[in-house]
Structure 1
Amino acid sequence: MKWYSALAIAGTTQAALRFGCSTVSIQRLDPLVEPGQVPSAHVHQIVGGNAFKPNMTGDIGEQGTCTTCTFTEDFSNYWTAAMYFKHSNGTYKKVPIMQNAALPNGINGGMTVYYTQQDFNSNGNQKITSFKPGFRMTVGNPTIDNSNAAKGRAGLRFVCLTDKNTRFPELPDFPTKPCKGGIMTVHHFPACWDGKNLDSPNHQDHMYSTTKDAFSPAGPCPASHPVRMPQLAYETLWDTAKFANMWPTDGSNPFVLSYGDKQGYGTHADYVFGWKGDSLQRAMDSSCMFQACENGKPLKSQNVAAMNKCTVKSFVNEDIDSWLPRLPGQAM
């Protein structure tokens, strides 16, 4: 079935979502890339619905009972590799995350999630087709190990924060100096769908990216992937500033992603769709933007206390928070 068959006669709208999700779990699970494997290869920072578990199949929107996201109809899961600080004595400490400046106070870490039509700055005026039950995808590749390849992957960037409102410049790798306000990682997902497959063997081929530089409208979708879906993006703010007085004396970058990446070239993120019913499509068909989409206009929302209350159990019994002799799952 081609879900996009009605697009030719459908009108255009101007919806854009930006909302916070508190942390639902931090553990070594990856039900998308390593389904059923407990533990997975490296630690992930996870937000969203409480249906998150080693195997995730079917309509996730009908399986969750709570969510750490602002919108109570969103049981999707969003995750990235965790970040660690490597001390000069060789031990590692997990870097905590902090809420974005645009979000309500009190959110337990988490990340900022965007569903937009063209960029972070404006709505756009295209017809946007929601993701479907069972849809999933990844962006980025942890095996990328060189600067040229990282520079060519538009939308996967780091920002050295002066404060939480800093957005430029965007870097393809870790900043090389202490950042007063922390480090932000940015993950733009591809927004052009082939119209047929909810997933693909590498979790990427069913989608096509036309992402350009930050705050720039994406290019048109190609004939191979003709369906314009929401431009999904994550902003994650890492509180690296608390390690400023432990910065190596040789000036080298002390931060590392949880799979051992010291440059950040392989930064990546995962997504499993879990909006309940037609809630995301209703939002995309509306003209609301950001906070104006809350309180039933058209999406149901919840307060920060309810967001922070939702959690999932840890399936892996290991210490990930102390000063560690090695990264969890990594050899000495």
Structure 2
Amino acid sequence: MRGSLLVMAVATVPAVIASLTMLRFSCSQLVVDRLDPYLVNPGMVPSPHLHQIVGGNGFNMTMDPNQHDLSDVATCTTCTPTEDFSNYWTAAMFFRARNGTYKRIATKGNPLGFSTAVGGQTVYYVKNGNVTAFKPGFRMTTGDPTFREVSQTSKYRQLTYTCLQTSTTRSGETKDFPKQPCKVGIMVNIRFPTCWDGVNLDSPDHQSHVAYPSGTFESGGECPASHPVRIPQVFYETVWDTVPFNDKSLWPEDGGQPFVWSFGDRTGFGTHGDYVFGWKGDALQRAMDANCNSDLFGDDLKCETLKRQTLKEANQCRKQRVVNEDVDGWLTELPVDMPVAD
């Protein structure tokens, strides 16, 4: 059974080849809040739009954006590897009903193996050949929340949506929001670049210090000379529980789709993700060197070099919301009166 879960997980990456290995695990929801202390809006409370955050509980509005080792400040993690205090986050998704009101959509545990997780997302570290693990202080983003046209999305690879008709659906990825009800939910797939300049832990735009390989990552494409260091591919799968909103009578009368990101994007082209490395010591490098090809779930798929906790234990690591605002009821506007643009 667990082996079949791993096979289905591999199917999420197109054109996969035999040399790929995947460390796959669950990170339960840590908090939903308008905070972005490390990257785009350090020191700003609240941040301009709502985020859903997973990982170590060191995520905090008072966090020094120059803090290099999150494992020194976090006391627990929502991820099943207990040595991973990284933070992973995305914008929050909302449903806009026919009457113009908004309801935040919850995340749910990945139905392929992590259904008992309290929301959050599935995280992958994928390697193709030898890779260098990230260093303390490393951080990056991918995607652009200002994008509203499909032509803009060619700047980034593999930022997609999967309309889950079953828990095993892994085909039909799109770059925009699904336009029909999805029986199991909407899975948002965010894959980060896999080449690093080898020097900078960050850059002013949080993206220039990393780059994509030539060709594709799956085919083993070479890193550019400007970014010669091959790093693991960080990959998020976030399953949004859109099932309660599948009643088409609630959808827009014009036949359009009803989903909108917390930063006001109804197209879906502005999807983006944030990552701050926080593994303890050399734990991630050990896992990569050991070719861990595991979902860290069940007795027959183990990564012996890593310590792990159960999903029940991971669910218990939580943060109190800092920004006191209603993000769970039916709202007349998105949080902070964020304008919605098609």
TM over 0.5: yes
Structure 1 residue 98: Cα displacement: 1.4
Structure 1 residue 15: Cα displacement: 4.7
2:148 to 145, 150, 157: 145
- The SS at the match of 2:95 is strand
- The SS at the match of 1:85 is strand
Contact map agreement 1:160 1:182 (CA 8 A) in 2: yes
Describe how 1:251-262 pairs up with structure 2 within 5 A. Answer: 251-262=255-266
Contact map agreement 1:160 1:184 (CA 8 A) in 2: yes
Structure 1 residue 169: Cα displacement: 1.1
Which residue is equivalent to 2:14? none
Distance 1:240 1:296, change over 3 A: closer
CA-atom RMSD in angstroms: 1.9
Contact map agreement 1:14 1:286 (CA 8 A) in 2: no
- The SS at the match of 2:59 is coil
Contact map agreement 2:30 2:78 (CA 8 A) in 1: yes
> C-alpha offsets along residues 128-166 of structure 1, whole Å, 9 cap, x if unaligned?
100000000000000112111125532101111111211
Which residue is equivalent to 2:316? 309
Question: Does residue 35 of the first structure (1) align with residue 42 of the second (2)?
Answer: yes
- The SS at the match of 2:336 is coil
Describe how 1:20-169 pairs up with structure 2 within 5 A. Answer: 20-31=26-37, 32-54=39-61, 55=63, 56=65, 57-117=67-127, 124=128, 126-169=129-172
In structure 2, what is the Cα distance between the partners aligned to 1:74 and 1:45? 18
Residue type at the aligned position of 1:101: P
Unmatched 5+ residue regions in structure 1? 1-12, 118-123
Deviates more, 1:215-224 or 1:34-43: 215-224
In structure 1, what is the Cα distance between the partners aligned to 2:201 and 2:22? 23
Residue type at the aligned position of 1:318: E
Q: Using the aligned pairs only, state the percent identity.
A: 52
Unmatched 5+ residue regions in structure 2? 1-18
Residue type at the aligned position of 2:219: P
**Matched residue count:** 312
Describe how 1:138-217 pairs up with structure 2 within 5 A. Answer: 138-210=141-213, 216-217=218-219
Contact map agreement 1:191 1:229 (CA 8 A) in 2: yes
TM-score by length of 1: 0.89
Structure 1 residue 127: Cα displacement: 1.2
Contact map agreement 2:202 2:209 (CA 8 A) in 1: yes
Contact map agreement 2:214 2:223 (CA 8 A) in 1: no
Structure 1 residue 313: Cα displacement: 2.0
In structure 2, what is the Cα distance between the partners aligned to 1:175 and 1:295? 35
- The SS at the match of 2:337 is coil
Distance 1:133 1:259, change over 3 A: same
Deviates more, 1:97-106 or 1:277-286: 97-106
Which residue is equivalent to 1:276? 280
TM-score by length of 2: 0.87
Distance 1:15 1:61, change over 3 A: farther
- The SS at the match of 1:329 is helix
Structure 1 residue 212: Cα displacement: 6.6
Contact map agreement 1:72 1:302 (CA 8 A) in 2: yes
> C-alpha offsets along residues 47-98 of structure 1, whole Å, 9 cap, x if unaligned?
0000001234221122111000010000000000010000111110001111
Describe how 1:227-238 pairs up with structure 2 within 5 A. Answer: 227-238=229-240
Structure 1 residue 241: Cα displacement: 1.9
